[in-house]
Structure 1
Amino acid sequence: MSNHSPVSNESLAPSAPESEPQHDRSRILRSVKGPAQFLSFWVAIALPFVHLPLLAQGLGDPAVTLAFVVLLTANVFALYLGHGYNQH
């Protein structure tokens, strides 16, 4: 005697295509993380050299002050993103 069920086992299992986009997204994020940290680390190293001419010129001009603040903000953001670069 065979036991035939009206519901197949395939309908009870979670479908694989639904979990695949999540897997692809995490794989893409992992592949982008290393280069993003590398670039952010070196941008954070280089940006202070751009600050020097602005500071030498003085921050009396509002445009120079704005440029300095924008570059300083970018430097802090780059430091945050690149802080884990090359750590094992």
Structure 2
Amino acid sequence: MSNPSTVSNESIAPSDPETELLREYADRIRRSLKGPAQFLSFWIAIALPFIHLPLLSQGLGDPTVTLTFVVLLAVNVLALYAGHGYNN
């Protein structure tokens, strides 16, 4: 039987203090933007159905109206996903 070889950590570069500062800065920005982004997404998800109603009452016979409705529906779904954790 052979002895298991030891793996050295020489291939792992030591962390650069400048890189760590950039990561901390990026994390701080991400955390500070999360609340306002969730707030905005939540209220967009609440308001968009009121725009859907006139489009539906007009009818979806025109391709432009149908495309607008589908795009607004997709934006609404994304806003619901992004804003679902607001005020928790």
The two structures share one fold, judged by TM-score above 0.5 = yes
Q: Which residue of 1 aligns with 2:52?
A: 51
Q: Which amino acid aligns with 1:27?
A: R
Distance 2:36 2:18 in 1: 29
CA deviations on 1:8-36 (whole Å, 9 max, x unpaired) are: xxxxx854222100000000000000000
Q: Which residue of 2 aligns with 1:70?
A: 71
Q: Which residue of 2 aligns with 1:6?
A: none
Q: Which runs of 4+ in 1 moved over 6 A?
A: none
Kindly report which structure 2 residues correspond to 1:20-31, keeping only aligned pairs within 5 A, or say none: 20-31=21-32
RMSD: 1.2
- Which ranges in structure 2 are unaligned for 5 or more consecutive residues? 1-13
Q: Which residue of 2 aligns with 1:42?
A: 43
Q: Could you state the TM-score of these two structures normalised by the residue count of structure 2?
A: 0.81
The 3 A distance-change label for structure 1 pair 60 and 18 is same
Q: Could you state the TM-score of these two structures normalised by the residue count of structure 1?
A: 0.81
Q: Percent of counterpart pairs with the same letter?
A: 65
Aligned residues: 75
Distance 1:73 1:32 in 2: 23
- Which ranges in structure 1 are unaligned for 5 or more consecutive residues? 1-12
Q: Which residue of 1 aligns with 2:61?
A: 60
